[in-house]
Amino acid sequence: RVDQSIAITLEAGVSLGAMPIHRFGTDAQRAEYLPDLLAGRALAGFGLTEPEAGSDAGATRTTARRDGEEWVINGSKQFITNSGTDITRFVTVTAVTGESGGRKQISTIIVPNGTPGFTVEPGYDKVGWRASDTHPLSFTDARVPVSHLLGEEGRGFANFLHILDEGRI
């Protein structure tokens, strides 16, 4: 009510950072990430918006392909809230992981900060909401274990729509 930057930091931290882990995470993912997120010791971002696709998840160009027991992620995201703070622990990203019936299968994958090939670009110099942490992200052969898949493979788009519906007031 008083400061929109603080409000969006909290809203994004809860609805886009913690809620996907709560709703769709495995028991191991919940145990690893939720205690710090819920206690305010960590933040997380959700990487949906892309330079060429906006927030149209169906137009996602970021890809994640399996290579043995790892996901290899390539692409970029933009306008990602809570993605570059000192306490940001990870960003969950939407990525094309396959195709079925001529349609992209979009999944969500947890990418911890510090993952080689995952770069948090310099923050935006915004006119408003200046205290809100917002960055573009890039992924160049970023590798994470297959256990970082959040929810079922190919259900990332549907799961994210569910999260957006819950978070909007």
Residue with tokens 């970021």: 62
81, 45 in Cβ contact below 8 A?
yes
Instruction: State how far the Cα of 5 lies from the Cα of 10, in Å rounded to an integer.
Output: 9
∠ CA 6-10-14, rounded to 5°: 170
> Does position 84 have pLDDT exceeding 70, yes or no?
yes
Predicted pLDDT at 4: 85
The Cα–Cα gap between 75 and 66 comes to 15
For residue 70, the model assigns a pLDDT of 98
Average the pLDDT over 136-149 and give the result. 98
Identify which has the larger pLDDT, 168 or 130.
Answer: 130
- State the alpha helices, DSSP H only, in the chain: 4-11, 19-24, 27-39, 156-167
Report the predicted TM-score, pTM, of the whole model to 2 decimal places. Answer: 0.92
Report the pLDDT averaged over residues 131-149. 96
pLDDT more than 90, % of the chain: 69
Termini Cα distance of the chain: 14
- Please give the pLDDT value at position 169: 57
* pLDDT reported for residue 130: 79
- For residues 106-113, give the mean pLDDT: 97
Distance between CA atoms of residues 26 and 29, nearest Å: 5
Residue 85: partners with Cβ closer than 8 Å, 6 or more residues away: 43, 133
Instruction: Report pLDDT for 20.
Output: 95
For residue 149, the model assigns a pLDDT of: 98
Determine contact, residues 112/89, Cβ cutoff 8 Å: yes
Give which of 73, 81, 75 is closest to 59, Cα–Cα.
Answer: 75
Between 18-27, 51-60, 79-88, 136-145, the lowest mean confidence (pLDDT) is in 51-60
Predicted confidence band of residue 15 (pLDDT cuts 50, 70, 90): confident
Please, which pLDDT band fits residue 100 given cuts at 50, 70 and 90? confident
